[in-house]
A and B are shown apart, each in its own frame.
Chain A
């Protein structure tokens, strides 16, 4: 089997798992998770084989693995769809395959496979624990999720969407994968559909990303009408890019390339939760934690960044290194940097362990967007990959923490929120594996020097920002990095360090191997992956390793971007902000025991800068008013139903009239009864002819004989026969 054929097959196992689970194995939990994890394993295997093959190809950027088929006939050409694996796709496939597999494995333990069914568990609500009788006294233990198989089916479909998006070679199938993931995010965020907050969050996620998707579709349509194709390789040619970059569109003075790039970027703003369409991501924490990991680290938000990186040649068409940025890139850089700082400020005031990570994701995605905005292609790709690993690690770790806390809650019977960090503390002793892996992830997020992957990728972005002279972006990102380190350390201190603050925290327990194994594996990547991207000019270490990542991924573009001159200032800045943030975070929170003592719980920050309330006032309420008052009451009930009722009444009247004036008197009486009466009358009056007297019969016969004979004679004489 050729590598191309293998690439075609990679997205299919999870799709097959989805259908099998939905149609056949829904009742059998063990079989369902086996099918799901098995399919993730198959896709992982395919991706690893492709990865290895890709590494062996010389100059993969100019000779990517590609294959396409004719799909939709359009006049004299075909719209082609297919697969494309160039260097950037290779590294993306790598992290997608690993994180997806880890999350699938993690879900087995997260949903408490092997535990008994809960006492009052209903499908649609999170499981609440079961009571078991052990050694004569009752234990509350965690119970298995009632909708276990359904979860695996949904994440299977999700994985299919992501793989399709990654391996596709054209915007159409990318969009297909994009939308499939949008659907699955709706299904999975609202997984516990009996909770109203989960339902609302699912709708919010879908609606918000939809706003972005509309603009993206406009961009795709514009691109197709301008170039007649949606395939990357056909668009990213010199002539096409040059044409698009020079044709003005008249909208905001943008060129065609700029406008398309901007429209596509808006789609990414929705999908990757950048300001102003970021509001769905924190609420999406309503879903089970593996979902949060999947959506917010490995796949869906990465898809937005992936698409922007993919479209980089288009976005940066006409721009050369060293020149001022074109309008689209300026917008991207601005929104990216702003979002990075904005989300970081909110994260410092959040108490829910998952919310902190949610805002952290928004912030990090802002980093990547900012990097792309200033033209740092390789840096953005690098950060995408490393972020996927450590963010997935952090989310799965938080899930493990929550599980441990829930165990404690069930054990002690306390009614505390297992997700509130102020109810935790001291968990490093109770949950060591979780602690160490979470620490590694947190340090990677903060950019702890040298040993964590996050350091290398973040440092590269800062270096690029400084090196290209984009000082506003540089300063904003540095501030955001400081806050990132600060709130990460806050989170670690409150959760793991110190002493337990509640009884539940005292009775927390480490989680099963199906949950801790993925944590360990991901932490290996969170440490080691950074080393493939050490810049050549880095003091000491640069000499040991060549910057493989830069060469490899950079070759995706037509021209490999030059590695920057090494400058000490960004390095110092990043060391300062990372270590400084970690130190201050530890310092500030090691003595705090309750939420009231936290001086950073400022209203504005805690309430997310009131963005949700603003949207509610500006958009939601007017829409509801419009739907209710105008469309429903006036149009639907008043106008349309009015017309229908009038029709009904008119028809009724006409029917009545027809019945009473035509049907009854004419047809019934005249024709119906009338013919009967006439027949009767004739019969009664003709009957006496039959008198029984033959002589009368004979007279009549002769009489008529004369009549007929006379007529015949007369006529025959006329014709001349007689």
Chain B
């Protein structure tokens, strides 16, 4: 067991535990906060994977914007400060079963792939991740078009969200 492996296990366990809490806790605010923890864990995983940019973007966008948005939404939709009634619907056990089956299925599927137990190659020393990423995003023979389309998508989402949630005073 190397250090990196131990670190990975700790981080993975933390992430999964938080995720479980997200989906099982009664109080929605707690759920949102647990989501924040999960997202942090994932960011650390990115860092372990030496995808630095992704880790930072994860923190900034996901935690900084999306999780906050969730908290806002929870607050805007509370009828009273206490959550009443059951928070799980009738399909608990079926849902659990299905999720388990999905997990088993995915693992099984992936395990039959040859490169399943491959180990990471060393990264080249002067590998400029950021530079490469930047070039790919704006280069016409790379991913310029998806980049632009994504921005259009965000515009559409923006307009849509404002319109849907708009109320006249």
Which residues of A line the B interface, CB within 8 A?
695-696, 699, 702-703, 706, 709
Give A703 to B105 CA distance when docked, in angstroms: 13
User: Could you say which residues of chain B place their CB within 8 Å of the CB of A706?
Assistant: 98, 101, 105
Interface CB pairs A-B, < 8 A, 14: A695-B89, A695-B91, A696-B91, A699-B91, A699-B94, A699-B95, A699-B98, A702-B98, A702-B102, A703-B98, A706-B98, A706-B101, A706-B105, A709-B105
Q: Which partner residue on chain B sits nearest A702 by CB separation? A: B98
CB under 8 Å from chain A, chain B span 93-118: 94-95, 98, 101-102, 105
Q: Which residues of B contact A699 (CB under 8 A)?
A: 91, 94-95, 98
Q: What distance in Å separates the Cβ of A691 from its nearest Cβ neighbour in chain B?
A: 11
Residues in chain B near residue A709, CB distance under 8 A: 105
CA distance A131 to B94 in the complex (A): 121
Report chain B residues within 8 Å CB of A702. 98, 102
- Give every chain B residue within 8 A of A703 (Cβ-Cβ): 98
Complex CA distance for A338 and B105, rounded to whole angstroms? 128
Main secondary structure of the interface of A (DSSP, over half): helix
Contacts of B95 in A (CB 8 A): 699
Chain A to chain B: the 3 pairs with minimum beta-carbon distance, closest first: A702-B98, A699-B91, A699-B94
A695 to B23 Cα, complex, angstroms:
15
B98: shortest Cβ distance to chain A, in Å? 5
Q: In the complex the two chains form, what is the Cα distance from A706 to B95 in whole Å?
A: 13
Measured CB to CB, the residues of B under 8 A from A are 89, 91, 94-95, 98, 101-102, 105
What's the minimum C-beta distance from A698 to chain B, rounded to whole angstroms?
Answer: 9
Q: Closest residue to B102 on the A side, CB-wise?
A: A702
Bound together, the chains give a CA A606 to CA B149 distance in angstroms of: 132
A696 to B89, CA, bound (A): 10
Please indicate which of the listed interface residues A695, A696, A702, A709 has the most CB atoms of chain B within 10 Å of its own CB.
Answer: A702
A709–B91 alpha-carbon span in the complex (Å): 22
Which B-chain residue is minimally distant from A701 (CB atoms)?
B98
State in angstroms the CA–CA spacing of A699 and B105 once bound together. 16
Q: Which residue of B lies closest to A709 (CB)?
A: B105
Closest residue on chain A to residue B91 by CB atoms: A699
Residues in chain A near residue B101, CB distance under 8 A: 706
What is the CB-to-nearest-CB distance from A701 to chain B, in angstroms, rounded to a whole number? 10
**Distance between B136 CB and nearest chain A CB, rounded to angstroms:** 34
How far apart are A708's CB and chain B's nearest CB, in angstroms? 13
Q: Inside 8 A of B91's CB, which chain A residues have their CB?
A: 695-696, 699
Chain A residues with CB below 8 A from B105, complex form = 706, 709
Q: Tell me how far the C-beta of A705 lies from the nearest C-beta in chain B, rounded to whole angstroms.
A: 9
In the complex, A709 Cα to B101 Cα: how many Å?
Answer: 12
Question: A300–B91 Cα gap in the complex (Å)?
Answer: 116
Query: Nearest residue in B to A703 (C-beta to C-beta)?
Result: B98
Q: Which residue of A lies closest to B109 (CB)?
A: A713
**In the complex, how many angstroms separate the beta carbon of B66 from the nearest chain A beta carbon?**
21
| A703 to B95 alpha-carbon distance, docked (Å) | 10
Question: Chain B residues near A696 (CB, 8 Å)?
Answer: 91
Give Cα A702 to B95, complex, Å.
10
Provide the bound-state CA to CA distance between A696 and B94, in Å. 10
- Closest A-chain residue to B95, C-beta based? A699
Closest CB of chain B to A18's CB: distance in Å? 100
With a cutoff of 8 Å between Cβ atoms, the chain B residues found around residue A695 in the complex are 89, 91
What chain A residues lie within 8 Å of B94 (beta carbons)? 699
Considering the chains assembled together, what is the distance between the CA atoms of A706 and B105 in angstroms? 9
In whole angstroms, how far apart are the Cα atoms of A702 and B91 in the complex? 13
A695-B94 Cα distance, complex, nearest whole Å:
11
Q: Closest CB-CB distance, B109 to chain A, in whole Å?
A: 9
Closest to B112 in A: A722
A174–B102 CA distance with the chains assembled, in angstroms: 109
Residues of chain A contacted by B102 (CB below 8 angstroms): 702
Known: A706-B101, A706-B105. 9 other contacts (CB 8 A): A695-B89, A695-B91, A696-B91, A699-B91, A699-B94, A699-B98, A702-B102, A706-B98, A709-B105
How far is the CB of B105 from the nearest CB of chain A, in Å? 8
Q: How far is A709 from B104 in the complex, measured between Cα atoms in Å?
A: 14
Q: From residue A688, how far is it (CB to closest CB) to chain B in Å?
A: 14
* A702 CA / B106 CA spacing, docked (Å): 13
CA distance A78 to B102 in the complex (A): 99
In angstroms, Cα B95 to Cα A356, docked, is 129
A626–B45 Cα distance when bound, in Å, is 121
Expressed in whole angstroms, the Cα–Cα distance for A412 and B41 within the complex equals: 150
Give Cα A703 to B94, complex, Å: 9
Distance in angstroms from B129 CB to nearest chain A CB is 36
- Report A-chain residues with C-beta under 8 Å of the C-beta of B89: 695
A518 to chain B, nearest CB (A): 121
Closest Cβ–Cβ distance, residue B54 to chain A (whole Å) = 29
Cα–Cα, bound, A709→B102 (Å): 12
The distance from the CB of B86 to the nearest CB of chain A, in whole angstroms, is 14
For the complex, give the distance between the alpha carbons of A241 and B95 in Å.
120
Distance between Cα atoms of A577 and B98 in the complex (Å): 142
- Interface-central residue, B89, B95, B98, by most chain A CB under 10 Å: B98
Nearest A residue to B108 via CB reads A713
Per the bound structure, the CA–CA distance linking A410 and B129 in Å amounts to 145
Within the assembled complex, what's the spacing in Å between the Cα atoms of A524 and B112?
136
Query: B87 to nearest A CB, angstroms?
Result: 13
Cβ of B18 to closest chain A Cβ, rounded Å: 23
Measured between alpha carbons, how far is A699 from B102 in the docked complex, in Å? 12
- Give complex CA distance A507, B95 in Å: 135
Query: How far apart sit A695 and B98, CA to CA, in the bound complex (Å)?
Result: 12
Compute how far the CA of A695 lies from the CA of B91 in the bound complex, rounded to whole angstroms: 9
Q: How far is the CA of A696 from the CA of B98 in the complex (A)?
A: 12
Measured CA separation A709–B108 after assembly (Å): 13
A709 to B89, CA, bound (A): 27
Determine the distance from Cα of A702 to Cα of B105 in the docked complex, in whole angstroms. 12
By a CB distance below 8 angstroms, the chain A residues around B98 are 699, 702-703, 706
A706–B91 Cα gap in the complex (Å)? 17
Instruction: Output the nearest chain B residue to A722 by Cβ-Cβ distance.
Output: B112
CB distance from B102 to the nearest CB of A (A): 7
B113 → chain A closest CB, angstroms:
12
Determine the residue in chain A with the shortest Cβ distance to B99: A702
Query: Complex: how many Å from CA A703 to CA B97?
Result: 10
Complex alpha-carbon distance, A706 and B97, angstroms: 12
Give chain B nearest CB distance to A246 CB in angstroms.
115
Smallest CB gap from B94: residue in A: A699
| Complex Cα–Cα for A696 and B95 (A) | 10
Provide the bound-state CA to CA distance between A325 and B90, in Å.
132
Give Cα A141 to B101, complex, Å.
126
User: CA–CA, A14 to B13, complex, Å?
Assistant: 128
Shortest beta-carbon distance from B10 to chain A in Å? 32
Q: How far is the CB of A78 from chain B (nearest CB, A)?
A: 96
A696 to B105, CA, bound (A): 21
A88 to B: closest C-beta gap in Å: 119
Question: How close is B110's CB to chain A, nearest CB, in angstroms?
Answer: 14
The answer for the CA separation of A381 and B105 in the assembled complex, in Å, is: 126
B95 vs chain A, min Cβ distance (A): 7
Least CB distance, B83 to chain A, in whole angstroms: 18
The distance from the CB of A326 to the nearest CB of chain B, in whole angstroms, is 122
Bound together, the chains give a CA A391 to CA B113 distance in angstroms of 130
Nearest CB in chain B: distance from A694 CB, A:
11
CB distance from B89 to the nearest CB of A (A): 7
Q: What's the Cα separation between A696 and B92 when bound, in Å?
A: 11
Q: How far is the CA of A153 from the CA of B95 in the complex (A)?
A: 108
- A696 nearest in chain B by CB position: B91
